[in-house]
Amino acid sequence: MNWTQVSVTVDGEGAEAAAEVLRRFADQGVSLELPPTGADSDTVVPDAYGRVRVSIYLPEHEDTPARRRQIEEALWHLGQIYPVPEPSYHSVREEDWASAWKEHYAPFRIGRRILVCPAWETPRPGPDDVVVQMDPGMAFGTGLHPTTRMCLESVEEHAGPGVGVLDLGTGSGILAIAAALLGARPVLALDTDQVAVRMARQNCDTNGVAHAVQVVRGSLRELRSGVLWDLVLVNILAPVIVRLLREGLAEHVSPTGVMVLSGIIDYQAPKVLEALEECRVSLAGRLQVRDWVTLCCRRPAA
């Protein structure tokens, strides 16, 4: 049996959204392919404007005009929100397809120490590097999106031995995993989606931190009153962040702790800042990649 590769090329900001659309049409997962760049051809450094090829592989008998029309319509709807080109179609032989989607996925670096690597690769980390193994077939939470990258940079800055970390809306678990690999303990990862909880647990196991990261289905209401965290990570959506702040999110940050809020489009930032002011939370730093904003905050003043 031969296969058809269906691909679109977008930047890192649009890659995960395109992958979420395409994965509906393929049981084999989604390929996110990054071209190696720089002097070290084994790794890449994703940037806001870097190009990513998003692909799925259809069995040849499923590559019908009706299926192509469904894919193109789904991408067209996404294109009303974010620019997405028309997909390309290429035939792949049976003997080549299993490795084709892995061929161009190289490890990539975020910050100074974090190296995100596909599970089948043997990384060559530096002496201080932390290797996070993620399956690129799991579109959301692989580290390509600007919000995830900015959060990982914040994790690198603030996580370490003895730092308690709360990852609210953990998704793939990548932030919690990176924190645990940097020595943070304890680490609690929460998500309301049972599928995300299952995948985050699998990823923790893959990275050898299942003993260090507790992954639980739930959200703010599942947090124990009086338990404070040194680093609180919330990479969700701005309206959800505003609601969580008004429901008492900042009360779970330790007196010297940091709260990192991400998933915020720049025009939504004033609403989040307004909610922070209502909670008497001070802004300690702001990161921005294109239209995406990450806010680093301190707990309410006493």
pLDDT band (50, 70, 90) for residue 252: very high
Look at residue 59 and tell me if it is in a domain: yes
Ranges 7-21, 185-199, 213-227, 232-246: which has the least confidence:
7-21
Structure tokens at 91: 């035939």
**92 and 211 in a common domain:** no
**80 and 176 in a common domain:** no
Distances from the Cα of 151 to the Cα of 167, 186, 274, 278, angstroms = 11, 18, 21, 24
**228 and 94 in a common domain:** no
Under a CB-based contact definition with an 8 Å cutoff, are residues 287 and 150 in contact? yes
Cα distance between residue 242 and residue 244, in whole Å: 6
In one-letter notation, the amino acid at residue 254 is S
Look at residue 130 and tell me if it is in a domain: no
Q: Above 70 in pLDDT, residue 110?
A: yes
Give the DSSP letter of residue 111: T
Which range has highest mean pLDDT (13-27, 96-110, 262-276)? 262-276
Look at residue 210 and tell me if it is in a domain: yes
Structure tokens at 289: 């990649």
Structure tokens at 247: 């429901």
**176 and 291 in a common domain:** yes
88 is in which domain, residue-wise? Answer: 3-106
Q: Above 50 in pLDDT, residue 72?
A: yes
At which residue do the structure tokens 């049972």 appear? 194
**149 and 99 in a common domain:** no
Beta bridge partners of 298: 258, 282
Look at residue 243 and tell me if it is in a domain: yes
**164 and 273 in a common domain:** yes
As for how many domains the chain has, the answer is 2
From 106, 137, 159, give the residue that closes a domain: 106
H or E element at residue 64: none
Look at residue 139 and tell me if it is in a domain: no
Q: Above 70 in pLDDT, residue 29?
A: no
Mean pLDDT confidence for 65-71: 93
pLDDT in tens, 217-234: 999 988 888 889 999 999
**179 and 87 in a common domain:** no
Under a CB-based contact definition with an 8 Å cutoff, are residues 258 and 285 in contact? no
Under a CB-based contact definition with an 8 Å cutoff, are residues 237 and 168 in contact? no
**99 and 10 in a common domain:** yes
Look at residue 136 and tell me if it is in a domain: no
Look at residue 284 and tell me if it is in a domain: yes
pTM: 0.75
Structure tokens at 174: 């990548």
CATH (domain of 150): 3.40.50.150
**221 and 84 in a common domain:** no
CATH (domain of 29): 3.30.70.120
**275 and 188 in a common domain:** yes
Cα distance between residue 269 and residue 209, in whole Å: 34
Look at residue 39 and tell me if it is in a domain: yes
pLDDT band (50, 70, 90) for residue 178: very high
**215 and 89 in a common domain:** no
**190 and 59 in a common domain:** no
From 80, 106, 132, give the residue that closes a domain: 106
From 44, 77, 106, give the residue that closes a domain: 106
